[in-house]
Chains A and B, each alone.
Chain A
Amino acid sequence: MEFAVEVKDLCKTFSSGWFRKRKKEALKGIDLIVPVGAMWGILGPNGAGKTTLLSILSNLLTPEQGEVRILGLDFRTNGNEIRKRINLSSGHANFLWSMSVQENLKYYAMLYGLSGKSLNSKIETVMDMFSLKDFARVRFEELSTGTKQKLSLAKALINEPELLFLDEPTVGLDPDVTNRIRDIIKYLHQEKKITILITTHNMKEAEFLCEEVAFIINGSIKAKGSPQDLKEKLHLGDTILIDFKGLIPAAALKAMDGIYDIQIHNSSCKITVDNHRKRLAQILEFFTTQNIMMSHIHIKESDLEDVFISFTR
């Protein structure tokens, strides 16, 4: 298997204050492997080290310790080659204020060596993709936050990167624009086959976009895996709430496969299961065979938000 990102024992400490005495360990021995073609999420609270990690991977920051290979190349010796094949888009997009959308794209395309027809066609393509044509001549300072973000993504695709880093790409955007940007990111991964590494503290976004996620807290990766794996690992199952009439044999119910917990309160029963899709039928059958009348059933799926809370607690 080919890897887009290989990180081993990565450490980064920032110094500040008089005589650089104040130290902050931003990353503490990070290990991470992202296969080519994957969409991975780096999750964590503010200040956890997500942006620091992404900045090192995109060659904007040098670590004091650790090995980093990007697209199979050592980042210390192949910086220029790597930079040709990657790109980055950040939330709270910032570009040259006086330059229009088209001029900004032209400038960045030229930095990647594009010129003439290939430059013009590339600009056309990315403006089409992000519906930026109406704003082609509008200066960056006059754009809305959502359009600025679209420009940031368009700029990140100008060199047709094999590996794309997205640093909180939907932060500060309204729900409508957020959804559209998430759809575009999904399209880039599924249709354009770009390997994407995305940082976010929005768990819904990670769940919607990422196949695998890594939780980074205080500079260390606490867990990684698919969202479902993580939920199971932490026993953060789905919740089935049943309003009932009758007597529940709690011990027998708890002994069933895949049931983590049962709480009965008056005529309401809260059952936590590993996966409601797998367990609901057998629970309903159990209630029926025990002649328990059910008046209302409510299902709540656990999500990464629960995983996040569990880690940060």
Chain B
Amino acid sequence: MKTFLSLLLDESIKTKAFMFKNWIMAKRNLFTLFEILFWPSISFLSVGLLAEFVNLQPRMRAFILVGVVSMSTVQVCQLDVAYALLYDVWSKALKHGFIAPVGTRHLLMGSLFVGILRGGLVFITLMAASYIIFDFNFTSPGILAIGLFVLGLFLSASMIGILVSILVLTIGNRAEVAAWSLVSLMLLICGIYYPVSILPYWIVVFAKLLPITYFLEYYRGFYGFEPTFSHVLLKGYTAVIAYLFLEVYLMKVALKRAKRKGILLKLSE
């Protein structure tokens, strides 16, 4: 029993270490403040005002606003997961973390927690702004629906963040661009401002592979948009959990490869 408790304590301290790092770095750097305030506000206001200008019906405006709020939330949350490695890469201090007795689970869980905190802040801020500025009630589907939707977004964000980390461990510094571009590409495919049904059929194939597609369809369903796919919530969660398991495994493989190829050292020089 004592061994189990001490093991649990050890796990939580190591996870907290990565939370601590991401939290301090987020607090101290201006660009991280821009990420949660400036860029989400800009995209929210510009898209929201455009919707006003073209005089969209409330239903259509709901479609657009759900998209823009989701995009900013996912973007901010996934960045924190990617930052777990990128902060060390930028500091050239990657080897110090990997010489310590920690696993990828600590790194991912710790950074995801801060990502959820920052992403959650963006979500709540934009949800409130939607109501105040554009008279759009984000909470009308109910607490459970919001909870399931937001959890889906966070899990999808961590999926993207881990993918960025895998790329960093595989191809090094060049992969950092993925931290900003990968999410935009995915959001383009999953129908952030439009239903996926309008996309060419071969892009719909890719959209079907992305869990965010299903989560967006799920939430928009509450505003009168019939989902293109069936069982969206089940499909979304099944896909995102499967991807997360696969990615955690791939990250371990990538780490082993990085140790074999010397990438870990190159990223610390």
Residues of chain A whose beta carbon lies under 8 Å from any beta carbon of chain B: 14-15, 51, 55, 58-62, 64, 80-81, 83-84, 86-88, 90, 94-99, 103, 106-108, 110-115, 139-140, 155, 159
Contacts and interface: CB of A to CB of B under 8 A. Distances in A.
A111 B102 contact: yes
Given A80-B101, A84-B101, A108-B96, 6 more contacts: A55-B265, A59-B98, A95-B96, A98-B25, A99-B28, A111-B102
Given A111-B100, A155-B96, A97 B20 contact: no
B42 to A, nearest CB: 25
Contact of B16 (A61, A80, A110): A110
14 contacts: A55-B265, A60-B98, A86-B99, A88-B95, A94-B92, A98-B25, A99-B21, A107-B20, A110-B14, A110-B20, A112-B101, A113-B14, A113-B101, A115-B16
B25 A88 contact: no
Contacts of A58: 99
A59 B102 CA distance: 13
Contacts of B57: none
Contacts of A84: 101
A14 B262 CA distance: 8
Interface string B82-117: 000001101111011111111100000000000000
Contacts of A97: 90-91
Most buried by A among B24, B99, B261: B99
Majority secondary structure of chain A interface residues (helix, strand, loop or mixed): mixed
B13 A106 contact: no
B265 A98 contact: no
Nearest to B257: A62
B13 A88 contact: no
Contacts of B259: 59-62
A211 B16 CA distance: 41
Contacts of B16: 110, 115
A60 B265 contact: yes
Given A59-B99, A83-B101, A84-B101, A113 B265 contact: no
A86 B96 CA distance: 12
B2 interface: no
A272 B259 CA distance: 48
Nearest to B259: A62
Secondary structure call for the B interface: helix
B17 interface: yes
Interface of B: 9-10, 13-14, 16-17, 20-21, 24-25, 28-29, 87-88, 90-93, 95-103, 256, 259-262, 264-265, 268
Contacts of A83: 99-101
B256 A62 contact: yes
Contacts of B10: 113
B13 A110 contact: yes
Contacts of A88: 95-96, 99
A81 B101 CA distance: 7
Nearest to B107: A111
A180 to B, nearest CB: 22
Contacts of A113: 9-10, 13-14, 101
B18 to A, nearest CB: 8
Contacts of A111: 14, 17, 97, 100-102
B99 A96 contact: no
B83 to A, nearest CB: 11
Nearest to A152: B96
B93 A96 contact: yes
B20 A60 contact: no
Nearest to A81: B101
A61 B262 contact: yes
Contacts of A15: 261
Contacts of A108: 96, 100
Contacts of B93: 94-96
Nearest to B28: A98
Nearest to B97: A111
B101 A61 contact: no
A211 to B, nearest CB: 25
